Structure 1
């Protein structure tokens, strides 16, 4: 999704989520290109942290702001909730044993799963938000403040 084409009422909120998606996508590629085991573990920890913060912001602020606008958006939010839970389960497996034998497998599945989720979110949910002209101007600062709060907390 091209950030420059997002209407003003949604630009800050959707733009912030798009930035998160791009950052994690870059880290997934870096993980794949890294040969060093310590490097892979460090990248995996960073991805898990970023995804946890991102999912929290969506679940606490973004998704509730969309709930009830339309049945189709509600259906997408229900699916996103399930997808988030699966991602959280994979994140927990990675965080429990980042140096373990299953790191590559868990991280690969997480990468594929998150890529699928992002494609649906950007291609369907965000497009419906724009189509429905949902004003997210009040939501964006709440999202930014919550992200700041979550990234300042000790791990």
Structure 2
């Protein structure tokens, strides 16, 4: 699977999990905990393969605009993964605060994914050949499997 297709598939999965989480009630604490764990694992795997493999290749192939997108994407990862997600993980799943934090995480991820798909991936298709995208995709699939396995 090429790199862009892999990342879009990840985006779709995480968005679906976040939608399911948002639709839960305060009484569904076990379901919330399960969904949150799935989100955490998939988000970590996704951000790892983007930051270690895709983003550096994109930045190296690009111009000044791509470097700007690269650094913006890293900051969006930091906001979601280092600020909002840890707060959510430490919030009682039966609380109203949990619902609010889950919604903020969902909005951050949706904004980030939409921006990547409309801007970064479009540019990447122009800057990188089909062969390069396929090679990146293979590297990313292997690394993603390692990250997911580390949660087991």
Instruction: Give the TM-score band, short-chain normalised.
Output: 0.7 to 0.9
Pairing 1:74–2:67 present = yes
Deviates more, 1:61-70 or 1:112-121: 61-70
Deviates more, 1:96-105 or 1:59-68: 96-105
Task: State the Cα RMSD in Å.
Answer: 1.7
Residue in structure 1 matched with residue 145 of structure 2 by the alignment = 148
Displacement of 1:44 after TM fit? 1.7
**Using the alignment, how far apart are the partners of 1:29 and 1:154 within structure 2?**
23
1:80 alignment partner, SS class: helix
For the 8 Å contact 1:31–1:44, the answer to whether it is kept is: yes
What is the CA deviation profile of residues 25-78 of structure 1, one whole-angstrom value per residue up to 9, with x for unaligned ones?
A: 111221122332221222122112211111111001110111132111111001
For the 8 Å contact 2:58–2:66, the answer to whether it is kept is: yes
Higher relative contact order (CA 8 A, sep 6+): 2
| TM-score, L = length of structure 1 | 0.85
Q: Unmatched 5+ residue regions in structure 2? A: none
Displacement of 1:83 after TM fit? 0.5
Match of 2:3 among 1, 5, 13: 13
Moved over 6 A (4+): none
1:56-67 equivalent positions in 2, closer than 5 A: 56-67=48-59
Pairing 1:23–2:13 present = yes
Residue in structure 2 matched with residue 47 of structure 1 by the alignment = 39
